[in-house]
Structure 1
Amino acid sequence: MEAPLSFEQKSTFAQFGKTLPMSEEVIDLLNDFQRCEMALSSFVNTAGVTTTADSSDLLLHPKILRSADWRISLLKAECRDSAIPSSAWNILDKKFDLIQLILQGCHLNFHLEKQPYLQNLEITSCNLQNIPTDFFDRMPNILSLSLSSKNFTSLPQGISRLKNLQQLQLFGNNLISTPSFFSILSSFTNIQILHLSKTLITSLFLVDPLLNSSLQLTGLHLTECQLPSIQEEDIKLLSKQTKLEILDLSKNKIDYIPVNWSDLPASIKILNLSSNFLTSVQFMFSSDVKLKVIDISKNKLRVIGNLLESGRADSVNVSFNNIIEVCGVNYGRNINNLNLSHNMVEITEQSVASLSSLHSIDLGGNLFHCHVCNITILQKWVIGQHNMIKALNGTGDLFCFPKHSNLRVADVKQEECKNILYSRNPEWARVFQVSLVLSLIFLMAVLLRGYKFETCYLMRLWQNRTNKTRRISQTYEYDAFICYSNADREWVIYELMEKLEGAPHNYRICDHERDFILGSFISQNIVQSMHRSRHILFVLSETFFNSQWCLWELEMARHREFEGGGSSPILIQLTPVDQLHLSDNTEILLDSCKSLHSPNEPFFWEKLVNMLGKSLANFCERTDSETRV
């Protein structure tokens, strides 16, 4: 017989629930608690599994003072690809009523007694093919079921008998392609929350049978499903889900969403589009939509304009983007709280006017350029609206660029901006400006008189450079032709080309997917594109040197340089390259060409723009203006 509990143990156990008076009845109860722990230990030893159930996980049965029953709130059995002996489950069945059970890596070949209190069941990486047909009959009151496994091709038998099921999570499988999938799901009339994450759903049309069924979901989660875009027709599919409150489309590859979201149900509260590839967003909801949260964090936004054309949102999260410009819109008209943390926001008078009507704004994680004018505007705004402006939800502070300086915006001591000084003394400012212009004119006249020969020489140099500019713009069609492996396509298109073709550089880039002439041979297209480009960019990685086409393009660029047909190639080492596997010619080329290493290195983009020089678009614009002059 086990030893009775000490007073300290009794006091400790009493702290798990509400504190109980130390009566004789409670002392007997705590001794029974100890027997319960020993039974659990017996289960663990017999089953040979790892569990997380201990005394702190045990909850008192509501009728504990009238009976000696115990209910385990959580038992997590990690089986490590082994079967749990039936003798172990017999110990469990006789001693405990389960509320939550998590099984990882188990063979589900055991027999459970009826578990009327079991509400949450999670089965991860288990063999679901050999599950007993009556497995789910023993747990009729399950409210939440989670099945995560890559190797099952159909829903387990008997799952449709769980009539009380409210939340179903199906992770990492391709069940959506099975014929019976939607018919079984439609039979769960009480399901409110559905997770189909990490499944091969490339369009919302694939779940149309489910959305058009009698199910009325409150939460639909389609994360990590490889969704490439959301079209207006996709949103119309959701219109019948009149109770939908949560739509989670995070961690996909969405690079486009429509403006018109008016078909989204008025019940929607949370819209999650975080961790995608969106470069611009604007929403037009129906007027009766009042969202709690719109999450567009961790995308590729650069400018935010009119985020909400119609509808309202309590909080909008656009953190961890590349946002520089915020101006021109009264955001407080239909947004209460805006999270702009971890961007590159520049605070100007226009942006202050746009943001001041918000209830709160989070600017933490932005590194501000503490120039005289801008920092004065920001400091005055922070002082005047200190209750509204937050930094990392109130846990941080606003800092100046560069980050390692650790200089807080509030600590910068600088004089008033000159234009503010001028605005206070307009007459003095005009006198100063006129005097400055007259002094410059006099100085130029003296220089032209005393250095007339040098002036003629400089004018000749300028004329030669202008002629060279015209020749370049007439000879080449593209600034650069990019050669890369298909494995690096995403970085090239969404990072490299976006930065080079966007403002302010405006480079003309030749990409084979977009600019090659249809119907021509690939080799002919490559040669012609190289001759029509000022520079050739090679994006190097291990997969690059495994491609015959990439190596052939490298050889063509080498011949082009020897023939005097353009500048030497520019090499970008996207990932480290093992030179032991390279040919001698390739190794010589790598050593002799201009090379850039990881895009994460400091000043990578500045160095690349330096190598490319001015874009043809800027050449043409400058040449036209000079011709008009």
Structure 2
Amino acid sequence: MMTEADGIVSDHTKVLKMWLYTLWLYAIISVKSTIGNQLTKISGSPYQCSSTWNIASSAVDLNCFITDNSNWTFQIVQKWAEEHTVENMTVYIKCGQNGSIILRQPVKSHGLAALYIETCKIHQYYRYDLSKDIRLLPFTIKTMEVVESIHVITYQELSKLYSQHSAEVNSLYPCYIPPSLERYVERNVSVTAIRNGYIDHDDRIRHRKRIPTCNYTHLSYYEKSISTRSKLKFVSRFLDKGYFPLIRVLNFTRLHLATIPQKLRGYELSSEHFIKQYYIDLSYNRISQVEFGSFNNTNRNQFTIDLSHNNVRVITPLLISTLEAIYPGVLLFYSNPFSCKCDQHSLIEFLKNSPKTLVLNYKYIYREKCKTPIRYKGHVLSDVPFEKECHPLESNGNDITITVICVVGAVISVFVVIAYLCYNKYFVCLRYKRLTQKRDTISSNNYEYDAFISYSSEDESWVKMMCGRLGGPPYHAKLCLHDHHFVPGVTIADNIFDAVRSSRLTVAVMSEHFLSSQWCMMEFREASYKSMLQTQSRVLVIVLDDLDGLKASLPPDVDLFLKTHTYLRVTEYGFWEKLVNGIVQARKDSDTRTYDNTTEV
């Protein structure tokens, strides 16, 4: 039975509970108020940054959006982080159209753990901050990603770096990227150079020679991918000047690499420079020759080198010996334009006769499709009768049979030569007649197109990329392409003649496919003949493939043209600027219109 005293105690207990509950709510409101005070904006409009503070982990996320056509500087973050004594900060920066940020090396800030930059123009990256405050800050950043952005570099800042600050920079900050990084990504990042000064070539050479080898003791993932120009020199310099004891992934896809960087060949892959398990992505490049030199995987490193979607045509006996030497390491050759001629026979023998543990990594090659010869194009390698096609002729002593075969072959060859000469004579006469009829039209400067692009359909993807840039701003070149402008119902020969005649310039995208196409060769010869008639060069050759191995089989007129004319290689320095200048010069030669070529390429 409850007494009056019990009731009084019960009432006091209820009051005490209510008081404690009120105190608890007040404490929560006070904490929220404190957090709210910490979630201040970093900068005013237009530099909108918002912060999210995780009390449990003391982590801060800064989200900054740089509005269209506005400028912003990373120093805002550095100052804010110092004022708030940040310990673990992740910064996300995204720019609107033509949004720019100033980001100077070294990339440091109080508590900076990760930095993500997207669609920005980055200025002053090579104008190092050598102040004492920055120097005393340690490198804390572990992740850095720059995507779909542009580095805007001026000759003035490079000149100062090479001539005035080279020794100090190489002493304080010798690494290409912050040495504390565990993950670095640079994807589809281009460079625009503003030529507002002069760079001494000798200063640049001396600066690069002074750069010491950097020990990337934390780096496990490095990516530099997607570029419209070859990045072989940059990749080679980065690898040559680095030591990567923990690297697991090197991603160099879509960089227009024509060869494998030197450091990724030979003994270094199996040495202490790399750990036992790693992945190197060299896919979607232009690598045709796979050479690793002296390679012995004594450390049994289980690495993978991805050479898919390149230009590897033949797995040579030397390369097969490399496949055996690097085991359990493996090379991937998916979706390469394989040749199914007899020079591939040694690969088939390797797949049939090698140990199963080794061959298991390369069984997929049986399912790869042939690119050449024509009769096997599109077939998988396993369907090609290599034994029948490539088995050497065994002599059975029947000399008469061999003699008959030789005689018949000689007779057929004579008839082929005679037929070719007759056809060639007829074709030359026909061309001369048409040229005579249209000579007045040829000499006219009333051109419909800036350039006629002559190319093989096998190289269409690269050509479309080139035409997209030439046809867009700021060049607005009017280009003639056979798949768009050839008139249906008209003979191909007449379409070719009209295209060459109505264009100021013929740009021949020369590759192995181009040389094997009769129509491409007709276009090249028509344009060459037009140049002779006008006593001006009207042909610009772009060498897409490495033609050094084909020089012995080049048609005489092509060989003569390449020996007597300046041509462009897609891998050479300044290729794009030279191509634009060639088209611009053709405009100036044919009419009096002006052309603005001051835009940086």
TM-score by length of 2: 0.47
Task: Answer 1 or 2: higher relative contact order, Cα 8 Å, separation at least 6.
Answer: 2
TM-score by length of 1: 0.46
Structure richer in helix, relative to its length:
2
